[in-house]
Amino acid sequence: MTNLEKYEEVFVEVFAVDKNVLNENFNKENVESWDSIHQLNITANLEEVFDIMFEPEDIMAMTSYQAGKTILGKYNIEL
Task: Note down pLDDT in tens along the chain; length 79 residues.
Answer: 999 999 999 999 999 999 999 999 999 999 999 999 999 999 999 999 999 999 999 999 999 999 999 999 999 999 9
The pTM is what?
A: 0.94
- Check residue 20 and report its DSSP letter: G
CATH number of 3-17+25-74: 1.10.1200.10
Angle (CA) 27-1-75 rounded to 5° is 55
35 Ramachandran zone, left/alpha/beta (phi>0; psi -120 to 50): beta
Q: DSSP 3-state assignment of 21?
A: helix
Domain boundaries, the chain: 3-17+25-74
